[in-house]
Amino acid sequence: MALVLRSLLLPFMCFLITACAVSPTGRKQLMLVSEQQAIDASSEAYVQMLAPLEKQGKLDNDPALTQRVQTITKKLIVEAIKLRPETRSWEWNVKIIDEPDTINAWCMAGGKMAIYTGLINKLSATDDEIAQVMGHEISHALANHTAERMSVAMASSLGVLAVGVITDSRATTMAATAVAAKLAIELPNSRTSESEADRIGIEIAAKAGYSPYAAVSLWQKMAKAGNGKTPEFLSTHPAPENREQVLRSLIPQMMPYYEKARSNN
């Protein structure tokens, strides 16, 4: 019995040993899934999450708003690809979810994005502020934070994953990773991941022609929103130390990018 158990667990343990990676800022990340696995699982999770919303008539209801968000994200994607050229092959996509009370936005691995009408309307978000939110979200995907959070989700539900690995059933593993991909956008990021996404996000947005000052005003508006209830966005994006101060200190470095982009328009 013990031998059987050992032979079953061995492949899984090997899997765990190789599970380490380094983020763009040199930080060690727990990696139980590769970025490609995260992209595949996210693609599946995106379809699963959007299908019921589509049925309820909650997707892209306002053509003008859809156009506005798509124009902003297209410019951000151009800059994201310049930063990480291999993301050119990602099937980038953005959906506007019509939930007036939800203050949230996310980007999964592979560039699958969503923004909720609650964030845009309750914050009276300007184009510059929408660009900062989506730039921040895109940066989580660029820095492979999705795979990292999926790994955390999987490490806390090892049983589910182990079954998939041990039985070598692709379908089981795929279902488990899609669940983890969904969990990855619902679990809080670490404060270190937040700092990375803030730093990369403000740069992408500036290079796309969106004011770096909006990074500060966005988080200020976010902190005031929610009527005493923490907005969904803040619960998954906890404040790193001195977020506002750090973003403000980055503005002078970002202004040349911003001004160059504006003069090219």
Can you tell me the distance from the alpha carbon of 97 to that of 80, in angstroms, rounded to the nearest whole number? 23
Distances in Å between the Cα of 156 and the Cα atoms of 133, 135, 159, 222, 247 are 29, 29, 9, 30, 33
CB of 136 to Zn ion, least distance (A): 5
Q: Which residue, 179 or 234, has its beta carbon nearer to Zn ion?
A: 234
Q: How far apart are CA 159 and CA 257, in angstroms?
A: 48
Query: Nearer Cβ to Zn ion, position 164 or 243?
Result: 243
User: Is the Cβ of residue 87 or residue 189 nearer to Zn ion in the bound state?
Assistant: 189
CB 110 within 8 A of CB 138: no
Judged by CB under 5 A, the residue of 75, 122, 221, 237 near Zn ion is 237
> Closer to Zn ion at the Cβ: 165 or 185?
185
| Those residues with Cβ within 8 angstroms of residue 123's Cβ, 6 or more apart along the chain or in another chain | 103, 129, 218, 221, 222, 225
Please check whether residue 197 is in contact with residue 189, taking contact to mean a CB–CB distance below 8 angstroms.
yes
Stretch that binds Zn ion, among 34-42, 98-106, 147-155, 196-204 (CB under 5 A): 196-204
Given the rule CB under 5 A, which of 86-94, 151-159, 167-175, 229-237 is the region that contacts Zn ion? Answer: 229-237
Class of residue 16 by CB neighbours under 10 A (exposed 0-12, middle 13-18, buried 19+):
middle
- The residues in 151-190 that bind Zn ion, with binding defined as CB under 5 A, are 189
Tell me which residues are annotated as active site: 137
User: Is the distance from CB of 148 to CB of 193 less than 8 angstroms?
Assistant: yes
Question: Which residue number has the CB closest to Zn ion?
Answer: 237
Binder of Zn ion out of 197, 200, 250, 254 (CB under 5 A): 197
For residues 75 and 140, which CB has a smaller minimum distance to Zn ion in the complex?
140
Q: Taking the complex as a whole, how short is the minimal distance between the CB of residue 41 and Zn ion, in angstroms? A: 20
Picking from 100, 28, 114, 109, the residue whose alpha carbon sits closest to that of residue 69 is 114
Residues 45 and 178: their CA atoms lie apart, in Å, by 5
Cβ-proximal residues to 80 (8 Å cutoff; 6+ apart), any chain: 87, 111, 138, 142, 204
Q: Which is nearer to Zn ion, 201 or 209 (CB)?
A: 201
Q: Is residue 255 within 8 Å of 212, Cβ to Cβ?
A: yes
Chain positions 109 to 148 lying near Zn ion, rule: CB under 5 A, are none
Would residue 98 be called left, alpha or beta, if left means φ above 0 and alpha means ψ between -120 and 50 degrees?
Answer: beta
Residue 233: CB minimum distance to Zn ion, A: 8
Size of the site for Zn ion (CB under 5 A): 4
- Please report whether residue 218 would count as binding Zn ion according to CB under 5 A: no
Q: Which residues bind Zn ion (CB under 5 A)?
A: 189, 194, 197, 237
